[in-house]
Structure 1
Amino acid sequence: MEEEYPSIPMGRTRKILRTSIHTFLKNYQYFTITSSLLSLPFSASVLLSQTFVPFSPLLPTIYHRLRSLFDAASFPPSSQFFTILNLKLSQTITSSILVLPFTLSFLLFAKASVIQALHHHKPPLRHSLASFISIYNPILLTQICNSIVILSANATCFSLLFLAFNFLEGFGFSSPNSLLFLSATGAVMYSVILANAFIICNLALVLSGVDKCGGFQAILKACVLIRGRTATALALALPANMALAAIEALFQYRVVRAYYFTKSSNSSTALEGMFIAYLYSIIVVIDTIVTYVFFKSCKSAYRDIISSVENVKSLDDIP
Structure 2
Amino acid sequence: MELSYKILRRSVHSFLQNYHYFTTTIVFLAFPFSASILLSQALVPFSSSLYPQIYNHLKILFDAAGFPSSSQIFTLLNLKVSQTITSSIFTLPFTLTFFLITKSFIIQAMKMNNHKENLQPSFVDIISYHYKPLFQTYIYNTFFLLSANASTFCFLFLVFSFAEGLGNSSPSLTLFVTAAAAVFFSVILANALVISNMALTLSGMDGHGGYMAILKACVLLRGRTSTALFLALPINVSLAAIEALFQFRVVRGYHNIGGKSSWFFLGLEGIFIAYLYSIFIIIDTIVSYMFYKSCKIGGSLVDKEDKHFLRIEFIEEDNYGYLGDNNFQELP
TM over 0.5: yes
> Which amino acid counterpart does residue 98 of structure 1 have in structure 2?
F
Quick one: distance in 2 between partners of 1:135 and 1:79? 45
1:1-319 aligned at under 5 Å gives the runs 11-55=2-46, 56-120=48-112, 121=115, 126-133=120-127, 134-262=129-257, 266-303=263-300, 306=303, 314-316=313-315, 317=328, 319=330
Task: Return the structure number with greater relative CO, CA threshold 8 A, min gap 6.
Answer: 1
**Which stretch of the first structure deviates more once superposed, 68-77 or 232-241?**
68-77
Instruction: Give me the TM-score of the superposition, normalised by structure 2.
Output: 0.88
Quick one: distance in 2 between partners of 1:310 and 1:168? 42
Quick one: distance in 1 between partners of 2:293 and 2:208? 16
Equivalent position SS for 2:69:
coil
Q: 8 Å contact 2:219–2:302 — kept in the other structure? A: no
Cα 1:304/1:136, change in 2 over 3 Å:
closer
Quick one: distance in 2 between partners of 1:54 and 1:184? 26
**Which stretch of the first structure deviates more once superposed, 258-267 or 210-219?**
258-267
Shift of 1:122: 5.2
**Which stretch of the first structure deviates more once superposed, 12-21 or 261-270?**
261-270
**Which stretch of the first structure deviates more once superposed, 37-46 or 244-253?**
244-253
Q: 8 Å contact 1:303–1:314 — kept in the other structure? A: no
Instruction: Give me the TM-score of the superposition, normalised by structure 1.
Output: 0.91
> Which amino acid counterpart does residue 130 of structure 2 have in structure 1?
I
**Which stretch of the first structure deviates more once superposed, 108-117 or 247-256?**
247-256
RMSD: 2.2
Quick one: distance in 2 between partners of 1:261 and 1:276? 19
Q: Percent identity?
A: 57
Cα 1:263/1:104, change in 2 over 3 Å:
farther
Partner of 1:3: none
Shift of 1:242: 1.0
Q: 8 Å contact 1:117–1:124 — kept in the other structure? A: no
> Which amino acid counterpart does residue 128 of structure 1 have in structure 2?
S
> Which amino acid counterpart does residue 124 of structure 2 have in structure 1?
A
Alignment gaps of 5+ in structure 1:
1-9
Shift of 1:263: 5.8
Q: 8 Å contact 2:30–2:99 — kept in the other structure? A: yes
Equivalent position SS for 1:126:
coil
Quick one: distance in 2 between partners of 1:67 and 1:256? 27
Quick one: distance in 2 between partners of 1:242 and 1:105? 25
Q: How many corresponding residue pairs?
A: 310
Cα 1:25/1:87, change in 2 over 3 Å:
same
Q: 8 Å contact 1:116–1:124 — kept in the other structure? A: no
Quick one: distance in 2 between partners of 1:313 and 1:160? 31
Shift of 1:314: 4.0
Cα 1:257/1:17, change in 2 over 3 Å:
same
Shift of 1:315: 2.6
Q: 8 Å contact 1:225–1:302 — kept in the other structure? A: no
> Which amino acid counterpart does residue 213 of structure 2 have in structure 1?
A
Shift of 1:35: 1.2
Cα 1:302/1:223, change in 2 over 3 Å:
farther
